[in-house]
Amino acid sequence: MRIVIAGGHGQISLRLTRLLAQRGDTVVGLVRNPDHAPDVVAAGGQAGLVDLERATVEELAPMLAEADAVVFAAGAGPGSGAARKDSVDRGAAVLLADAAERSGVRRYLLVSSMGVDSVEQVADDVFRAYLHAKAAAEGEVRGRDLDWTVLRPGGLTDEPGTGRVRLESRTEQGQVSRDDVAAVLVALLDEPATAGLTLELVAGNDLVDAAVQGAARGEPGDASASAIREEATELEDDGHAAGLPRGPEDIPPGRGRHRADD
């Protein structure tokens, strides 16, 4: 696949670029600052220089040519005021949607945030502006003729990913590692049946692929890591009951056993 990531120098974006590049996908990370391009390249991607706060649809659309999907993971970042929350977190997301439509790229993943449904409960003015911008971006993208998926992660951490998450249309507040957010984005790109869904993401017990497949079916998480272990135990017990060997200790001497150097 060819994937274009808006906000290509972000912490989630660089992780996503590495995962996609490692499996052979072509990744273009859109960055405003040319000093950030080497980091995108080091992660295995190609850097595309564009200022999403100033660019026009006509300027951005050619950068999406032949892309299979776009991912919006840009953000104004800490220290920015309410105006930039709107121009980046909303305005740039809308621009990317416009350019995707213009270029014929149907798949659009929008990285949003948990909390957009309870903006008025937030006391901090800048964070409230951030959530307003994310909510507006979601509304704009949902109204487009695109195969969109909105992903709302909980509080982000830099802890190593566990590969186990909770991914549902609604879930309790919680945290999730950036590693696991990137892994979920990869799985969403691979699962077209998640188009049209808004999903909240926190740390949990479900393996990433199983969580995404469950979300695509409209089913809640099944604690798949535990389920897989239980299923393996059941299969082992069934085989033993049928007279099949459970392990090397059940194989008679001289049958099926090999020396370690064979």
Q: Name the pTM for this structure.
A: 0.83
Name the 3-class secondary structure at 30.
Answer: strand
pLDDT, tens only, 2-58: 999 999 999 999 999 999 999 999 999 999 999 999 999 999 999 999 999 999 999
What CA–CA distance (Å, rounded) separates 35 from 87?
Answer: 22
Cα–Cα dist 254/262, whole Å: 14
Q: Which tens digits make up the pLDDT trace of 139-188?
A: 999 999 999 999 999 999 999 999 999 999 999 999 999 999 999 999 99
Contact 211, 183 (CB under 8 A): no
Q: Supply the mean pLDDT for the chain.
A: 87
Q: Is the pLDDT of residue 205 over 90?
A: yes
pLDDT for position 223: 52
Structure tokens at 34: 């040319």
* Cα 117 to chain centroid, rounded: 20
When the candidates are 3.40.1160.10, 3.40.50.720, 3.30.70.360, 3.30.2000.10, the CATH number that belongs to 2-221 is 3.40.50.720
Could you please report the per-residue DSSP string of 114-151? Answer: TTGGGGGG---HHHHHHHHHHHHHHHHHHTSSSEEEEE
Q: Is the pLDDT of residue 248 over 90?
A: no
Q: How many CA atoms lie within 13 A of 76 on its CB side?
A: 22
* pLDDT per residue as tens digits for the range 99-108: 999 999 999 9
pLDDT at 233: 52
What are the structural domain ranges in the chain?
2-221
Which helix (H) or strand (E) covers residue 28, if one does? strand 26-31
